[in-house]
Amino acid sequence: MAVQVRTPTANTVIGRFEDASCDIFQVVGPGGNVIVSMTRDGLLNPTVVPVVQNSLLALSTNQPQSVSNIAVATSLYNLALYASSPGTGAPGSKLNLTLSWTQGEPRSVVLQLSGDVDSIQQENYVFLVRAGGSMTLTTAFTSTPFFYDIAAAIAILPTG
C-alpha cells in the first residue's frame, strides 16, 4: 500500500512511501534525531524543527494581502512577519496588519505600518492553537493606498 504525503493547504504531493505497513513515518537527521514524523493520513508533526504550513510574499504591492492556515494539530504556531514601506505614501496614510487566531475564542492583534515615512515592522508571534483552529494575517489600508513589501510565514513548532 502506498501513502502520499500532501501539503496541508494546496493538497500537493510532497512525498510518497511505497511501504505503508506502519502508522508513523519519521525523517531522521544526523545523529539519529527525529526531525519530522508523518502519520498515515499524511499530517506532518515536527519534533525538532518548525515546519512552514503557509506563507505570503508580495513585493511593491498596493493591494490588501492575506494568508491563513488551519491548525493540523493542537500545538504552538509561529507567525513570522516582515512589512516595510519606502515612505512614498500620502501624509497620514496607514496600513493595518491584523493577526487573528482562535485559542478557544477568537483573538487578534493589530499592528500599523505608516505609508508616509520609511518604516519597517518585524514581528514574531507564537500562538497556541487547537487542531482545526485558524490563524490569519490580513492587511487593510485606513486611507489612501501606498506601495509596501510584505513577507509572512506560519509554521507549526515542535511541542514535545
- How many structural domains is the chain composed of? 2
Confidence band (pLDDT; 50, 70, 90) for 7? very low
Mean per-residue pLDDT for 134-157? 94
Residue 130: give the domain boundaries: 51-156
Same-domain pairing of 86 and 73: yes
pLDDT of residue 39: 57
Same-domain pairing of 151 and 77: yes
Same-domain pairing of 137 and 67: yes
User: CA–CA separation, 159 vs 77, rounded Å?
Assistant: 10
Mean predicted lDDT score pLDDT of the chain: 79
Same-domain pairing of 42 and 73: no
Output the domain CATH number for residue 128: 2.60.120.40
Using DSSP's 3-state secondary structure scheme, residue 72 falls into: coil
Same-domain pairing of 71 and 149: yes
Same-domain pairing of 30 and 12: yes
Q: Tell me the pairing of strands 51-61 and 66-70.
A: unpaired
Distance of alpha carbon 84 from the chain centroid:
18
The tens digit of pLDDT for each residue in 31-73 reads 554 445 555 555 555 555 667 888 999 999 999 999 999 888 8
Same-domain pairing of 61 and 22: no
Same-domain pairing of 59 and 107: yes
- Residue 115: CB atoms within 10 A of its CB come to 25
**110, three cell numbers:** 493589530
Q: What is the pTM of this model?
A: 0.71
- Residue 46: CB atoms within 10 A of its CB come to 20
Residue % of the chain over a pLDDT of 70: 68
Same-domain pairing of 31 and 72: no
Same-domain pairing of 134 and 105: yes
Distances (CA, A) of 94 to 58, 117, 119, 123, 127: 17, 10, 11, 17, 26
Mean per-residue pLDDT for 118-133? 91
Mean per-residue pLDDT for 130-149? 94
Same-domain pairing of 40 and 77: no
pLDDT of residue 149: 98
Same-domain pairing of 64 and 12: no
Higher local confidence (pLDDT), 101 or 158:
101
Q: Is the pLDDT of residue 27 over 90?
A: no
